[in-house]
Amino acid sequence: MSENTQPSAELTALDRLVGTWSVTGGAEGTVRYEWMAGRFFLLQHVELSQFGQPVTGLEVIGNLHPFGEPVGADVVSRFYDTAGNTFDYVYELVGDKLTIWAGAKGSPAYYEGTFSTDDTTVTGEWTYPGGGGYTSTMTRI
């Protein structure tokens, strides 16, 4: 079994998300990011309301590393909610621009947001194929 000696640079870049954020826009509430021990996985605790429905769950973000295989290049996640749903995403942070694709990288459903220079806000928008989507702002609390 091969071992990772350290988390990928692409994953550690997401350290800017660690903390608790107030979310406004098409979904409202709070999210909290924290590292799992070892820092190979970033956990997002979600407590939002969207379209009048609660969205509560846990997202595990990191590089895939199946048994006996090399570490995957993309930073991927799976979100688990209290209604029994699972959703997969791919994260990419380049400079101050955070992109989160729903499903696979390059998907037509994605979030694109920008960190403020002091990392206290991330302002962006979810885009859905065929139109729709919504603005979303996270403010550090």
DSSP string, 97-121: EEEEEESSTT-SSEEEEEE-TTSSE
pTM above 0.75, yes or no: yes
- Reference 89, options 65, 111, 57; nearest CA is 111
Instruction: Give all domains of the chain, ordered by start, each with its CATH number.
Output: 9-140 (2.40.128.20)
- Reference 4, options 91, 66, 89; nearest CA is 66
- The tens digit of pLDDT for each residue in 6-46 reads 999 999 999 999 999 999 999 999 999 999 999 999 999 99
Q: How confident is the model at residue 3 (pLDDT cuts 50, 70, 90)?
A: low
61 pLDDT above the threshold of 90? yes
Rounded Cα gap, residues 15 and 72, in angstroms? 19
Q: How confident is the model at residue 132 (pLDDT cuts 50, 70, 90)?
A: confident
